[in-house]
Amino acid sequence: MINWTTPTYFGNPALAWAEALLLSLAIAIVLDLLKRWSVRHLGRVAQRTSNYYDDLFVALLRSTQRWLLIIISLYIGSYTLMLSVEARTIV
């Protein structure tokens, strides 16, 4: 029987989409905090060494944009949804 009170989108109820979105938001926040912490602490270590590669790694971390972290978190959050094969290939 079809439940008309719960809207579904691409085979998932709206609550599942909300849960996936909240999970993605939480992951994005954690990734951003982890990035900030890593840049701060690894930057201190890189200043004390004469190695070029640790400076390069800190510069790469520092230049990581927030939109990339959001895309990664949305990708991870999408795995909580039951998507079709076609939709999964798009994600």
35: left (phi over 0), alpha (psi -120 to 50) or beta: alpha
**Rounded to the nearest 5°, which phi and psi values hold at 2?**
-85, 130
Say what the pLDDT of residue 20 is.
Answer: 94
Q: Which residue has the tokens 């085979």?
A: 11
Say what the pLDDT of residue 2 is.
Answer: 58
Cβ atoms of 80 and 9 closer than 8 Å: no
Structure pTM?
0.80
Residue 84: pLDDT over 80 = no
Taking the C-alpha atoms of residue 91 and residue 85, their distance in angstroms, rounded to an integer, is 10
> What type of residue sits at position 66?
R
Q: Which residue has the tokens 């996936």?
A: 20
Higher-scoring residue by pLDDT: 25, 89: 25
Percentage, residues of the chain above pLDDT 70: 92
Say what the pLDDT of residue 91 is.
Answer: 66
Residue 1: pLDDT over 70 = no
Q: Find, among 34, 20, 32, 16, the residue nearest to 70 by Cα.
A: 32
| 9-52 pLDDT, tens digit each | 788 888 888 999 999 999 999 999 999 999 999 989 888 888 88
